[in-house]
Amino acid sequence: MLENRVLEIDGLSAWYGEARVLTDVSLSVHEGEVVTLVGRNGAGKTTLLRSVMGLHRQIEGTVRFAGTELGRRSPDARARAGLGWVPDDRGIYASLTVSENLLLPPVVHPDGWSLEQVYQAFPVLADRRSSMGTQLSGGEQQMLAIARVLRMGSRLLLLDEPSEGLAPVIVQRIGAIIREIKAAGVAVLLVEQNVKFAATVADRHYLLAQGRVVESLDNDSFQARESELLTYLGM
Amino acid sequence: MSAFVQYTLQGLAAGGFYALAALGLAVIFGVLGVVNFSHGACYMLGAVAAAVLLDVVGMHFWVALVVVPILLFVVGVLMERLLVRWLLRLDPLYNFLLTFGLSLILVDVVKRRYGVSGLPYERPAGLDGQLHIGALGLSTYQVFACLFSFLICGLVWLLLTRTRVGMIVRASTEDAERTRALGINVGRWVTPVFGFGIALAGLAGVMAAPFRAITADMGSNFVIILFAVVVIGGLGSILGAVVAGFLVGLVEAYGQAYAPAFAQVVIFVLMAGVVLFRPAGLFGREETA
């Protein structure tokens, strides 16, 4: 298991000017594994994803993806190497149609889904393929954002709070999609505040507080301590 | 009634220049995040180049319509490669100041070489007369200028909405960082987009040559109105640039006809009104972040 680490973060620290937001974070994600990063608002979860994506540059430490150190590589090179970013605001283009949103990024791996596969898995997107991106509901936008990186054939999805602001039935649907992604052998690093949701999809969890990893748990112990964690997160 | 039709035509013809130039400004702002103050100077260069090429090599208007935008494309590429590029990492204000300085230099260089009095440019044969439709007499050149700018705006629209390059430009205009994170090398498009935007300003200049006084200063007033156009249309909105370009041309023409003393004021009153009720412009999106 150790040799097929898709993502390996070692001693990552990040700053915004003088303010340190991540301190010596180390974590890993294995092939076909779903790992969550749980923590309160401001714990540094989004900064961590942005650092992996190369969007936040004021960092120290190493990020290795599929065995290669990413160093100072540009965000577009990282995306073409197989990192699929789904930002917390979904990142849907208002001036592009649904199908253009899907077709914009390059296909980076032969396992990338075809447009037909996407529409089969997400019939709601097929129905609205000519609508402008932001005419979709929040849940539809989330599905579109995930479908977009699946079409690229990304090997690791970085999902930033996909359940946020969605109705429970849509959250369930997103959970099912994540399990399907995992079954297809794609790894997922999931940022979440929703502990219950995280427990339904993930293999392992990292707890992030004030920019540090304070605990690493498998899903069983995570579920056993759910109420404690809920209090800890202030929810 | 016939006077009103003439003012409308005059407004649409002038609006065509604004629309073309504003389109260039919009794609440059969209992809580079640079507000190109030298756009007026590039418009002036287009008109001056047409006049000089006619004078020196006898280049016909129709040829200039193709050749001058290509020359201005090269000028844009050089500007971007040699100057603008180095400031892209800094606050956008630096490039605003750079292009402001550049336009002062360009204007003075043209003044030094060609003086301050206007260069002559005759309306090209076939476009110099009047079109008579019933009792209505319309300037053939204005009719041409109108139709031609509609055509070019339409072609640019097709380029932006029907091609992959256009899709990348639209996506980068909306959010360049996100577009990079989706695997697109936005940097590769920066130079050609800048050149393209400058070429559009140059094209507007060639079209204005038979219609306006060609002087080194012709771009100085133009660029101010151009900024009113992009504010009204919504900075970075491509449709907004076109619609507001024609709108401002019309408002200016009616102003000159019916309230000459207020012709320029009317444009800025319109701008203030739009900003008051829709701060992001007619077609702009409110910032959500």
State pLDDT tens for residues B15-60: 999 999 999 999 899 888 899 999 999 999 999 999 999 999 999 9
User: How far does the CA of residue A90 sit from the closest CA of chain B (Å)?
Assistant: 10
The reported pLDDT for the residue numbered A228 is 84
Q: What would the pLDDT profile of B161-175 be if each residue is shown by its tens digit?
A: 899 999 999 999 888
Binding-site residues on chain B for chain A (CB distance < 8 A): 167-168, 170-171, 173-175, 177-186, 285, 288-289
Q: How would residue B126 be classed by pLDDT, with cut points 50, 70 and 90? A: confident
Going by their DSSP bridges, the two strands A212-218 and A68-69 should be labelled as: unpaired
Which of A78, A80, A87 lies closest to B178 in CB terms? A87
Chain A CB contacts of B289 under 8 Å are 89
Amino acid identity for residue B256 in this structure: Q
The side-by-side arrangement of strands in the sheet containing A5-16 is A19-30, A5-16, A59-65, A68-69
Amino acid identity for residue A45 in this structure: K
Amino acid identity for residue B85 in this structure: R
- The residue extents of the domains of chain B are 2-217
Q: What would the pLDDT profile of A34-86 be if each residue is shown by its tens digit?
A: 999 998 888 899 999 999 999 999 999 999 999 999 999 999 999 999 999 99
Cross-chain Cβ contact B181/A75 below 8 Å: yes
Which residues on neighbouring strands pair with residue A19, listed in sequence order? A16
User: How far does the CA of residue A123 sit from the closest CA of chain B (Å)?
Assistant: 23
Cross-chain Cβ contact B181/A79 below 8 Å: yes
Chain B CB contacts of A152 under 8 Å are 182-183
**Could you identify the residue written with the tokens 């844009």?**
B76
Chain A CB contacts of B168 under 8 Å are 104
Instruction: Quote the ipTM score.
Output: 0.90
Domains by residue range for chain A, with CATH: 2-85+154-232 (3.40.50.300)
Q: Give the residue from A93, A109, A134, A150 with the most B CB atoms within 10 Å of its CB, the best one to mutate.
A: A93
Per the CB < 8 A criterion, the answer to whether A176 and A132 are in contact is no
Cross-chain Cβ contact B183/A148 below 8 Å: no
**Could you identify the residue written with the tokens 């969209």?**
B30
User: How far does the CA of residue A95 sit from the closest CA of chain B (Å)?
Assistant: 7
The reported pLDDT for the residue numbered B286 is 61
Residue in chain B closest to A158 (alpha carbons) equals B181
User: How far does the CA of residue B289 sit from the closest CA of chain A (Å)?
Assistant: 9
Per the CB < 8 A criterion, the answer to whether A184 and A176 are in contact is no
Per the CB < 8 A criterion, the answer to whether A84 and A159 are in contact is no
As a whole number of Å, the end-to-end CA separation of chain B is 49
Q: How large is the average pLDDT for residues B79-108?
A: 94
As a whole number of Å, the end-to-end CA separation of chain A is 34
Cross-chain Cβ contact A76/B178 below 8 Å: no
Evaluated on CA atoms A152, A153, A157, A163, the torsion sign reads positive
The reported pLDDT for the residue numbered A235 is 57
